[in-house]
Amino acid sequence: MSERERERDMLGASSRPRFVLFGSSIVQYSYYEGWGATLSHLYARKADIVLRGYTGWNSRRALQVLDKIFPKDAKEQPSLVIVYFGGNDSTLPQPSGFGPHVPLEEYKQNIRKIAIHMKCLPKTRTIFLTTPPINEAQILDNSDPQGQKVRTNEACRIYAEACLEVCCEMNVKAIDLWSAIQKRDDWKDVCFIDGIHLTNEGSKMVTKEILKVLKEAEWKPSIYWKSMPSEFDEDSPYDPIGPDGKTHNISNIPFPYPNQWDKIL
């Protein structure tokens, strides 16, 4: 067995690794000018990016489907799962008890249960994303009949910190999106489509943070995109012919070129 075949076997997939993006609308919409689309582009010949995003969902609903999406007895397990829940959990509670709000302590317990489940998948690495900030002024219809704001950036902060706390306790990697996005001075103006969901600029920041974790993680074998072999990247007589009259293997040349990813991400 070759070194690359051993790597692929260690990653837990028969052909190529599988990365699952699991979460609410920040995940579901991540292919609209988004970070999910960028990951799919960078890993196009290295891993399959599988979208499991469900707009409007909270951590309660995530727990209801956890065993269906990530069965513990599945023959093939994902190599990586990126998890995001919290923005809907942090919304204003309703007197009826209905709606997406989840009390803080229950939210922490739900994140803990998700982390425990992922730890039971022996070949799966996990990264949690915290709630990003929001631009309250940009959100339409953000008040209930009593005039209280349904979503606030302060509530996002509280739930983001709760997610980080649980991940630290569980020794699971987490990315503090609430803080990372606000490092940009003009974040309120350029990062959101509607005050909640991310523009291309906002998604670039998410992608950068994810790639930073993947690059620095001491996971063996590495699943950072530059460290992984491309599928079918061997030299071929059918490769394009260069000005020198020789074939040139272009399987690992990033697009668009010259390489922009080192500068942007």
Q: pLDDT tens-digit profile of 26-60?
A: 999 999 989 999 999 999 999 999 999 999 999 99
Give the C-alpha separation, 192 to 189, whole Å: 7
Domain membership flag for residue 263: no
Is 195 domain-assigned?
yes
Task: Provide the domain limits for residue 121.
Answer: 3-235
The pLDDT tens digits of the residues spanning 206-251 come to 999 999 999 999 999 999 999 999 999 999 989 899 999 999 988 8
- The shares of helix, strand and coil residues in the chain, as percent rounded to the nearest 5, are 40, 10, 50
Choosing from 25, 40, 79, 197, the catalytic residue is 197
How many distinct structural domains can be found in the chain?
Answer: 1
Whether residue 254 lies inside any domain: the answer is no
Question: pTM for the complete prediction?
Answer: 0.91
Q: 194 catalytic, yes or no?
A: yes
70: CB partners within 8 A, 6+ apart: 20, 22, 77, 78, 81, 117, 118, 121, 124
Residues 149-194 have pLDDT tens digits of 999 999 999 999 999 999 999 999 999 999 999 999 999 999 999 9
In a domain, 9, yes or no: yes
Active site residue 197: yes
The answer to the question of residue 177 being in a domain is: yes
Name the residue among 263, 236, 264 with its Cα closest to residue 250: 236
Please say if 24 is a catalytic residue: yes
Would residue 256 count as lying in a domain?
Answer: no
- The CATH number of residue 21's host domain is 3.40.50.1110
Q: Annotated catalytic residue: which of 194, 227, 236, 248? A: 194
12: left (phi over 0), alpha (psi -120 to 50) or beta: left
Assess if residue 247 is contained within a domain.
no
